[in-house]
Amino acid sequence: MFRCGIAYPRCRWIAPLILLFAIIFDIIAIAATSGWVEDEGAKSHYASMWKYCRGRNDDWECPSLMEFPWAQAVAALMILGLLILIVAFILSCIALCPAVNITLLPLIGILLLVAVVLQVIALIIYPVKFNERIFEGRYFYTWAYGFGWGATILMIGSTALFCCLPRYEDQMLGLTKTKYLYSSA
């Protein structure tokens, strides 16, 4: 009556979809102008990846963070990670969507691992250097910064998925019988 099994052919469609969501999350994090960081109390200070703003109501002063080397490094690492992620997405569509090309899967996994390392470095540098630069008050990290971490977490999971999928080539191609985890009569 009820059967639960692993349908490997679904990975052909889900894996590129996960990478697409990671791309969307990354673009949201990089393009967010409302800020990665906001002050906790007075709402008089916020900072995005590109600039930091101080002021009240309609009187805001927003100098660029790009004059600091650490901010340039964060921007470069995030954008480079996004570009590598886009290449991995395109390769995953080529490798999995029309027909399964198992030889590309480890390459996609390696590309994703490089993108993960770059983005983790960027997402760690930003709060450390921001806190060194701005030391008054208490700050919290907003949804835009969280989207950066969300994209990175999706890439970590996809890295494991793309590295493990070559072991299940026959199951992905539908050449083996489905193994049920649970079956009730």
Q: Give me the residue spans of the domains in the chain.
A: 85-167
Neighbours of 58 (CB within 10 A): 5
Q: The tokens of 140 are what?
A: 């919290």
Neighbours of 28 (CB within 10 A): 16
pLDDT band of 14, cuts 50, 70, 90: confident
Q: Between residues 72 and 97, which one has the greater pLDDT?
A: 72
Neighbours of 53 (CB within 10 A): 17
Sign of the alpha-carbon dihedral angle for 133, 123, 72, 52: negative
Q: Are 16 and 97 in contact (CB under 8 A)?
A: yes
Q: How far apart are CA 156 and CA 162, in angstroms?
A: 10
Could you read off the pLDDT of 53-95 as tens digits, one per residue?
A: 887 777 788 888 888 899 899 999 999 999 999 999 999 888 8
What number is the average pLDDT over the span 116-140?
Answer: 83
Q: How far apart are CA 111 and CA 88, in angstroms?
A: 6
Q: Are 77 and 118 in contact (CB under 8 A)?
A: yes
Q: Which of 60, 62, 65 is nearest to 132 (CA)?
A: 65
Global pTM reads: 0.83
- pLDDT at residue 2, rounded to an integer: 45
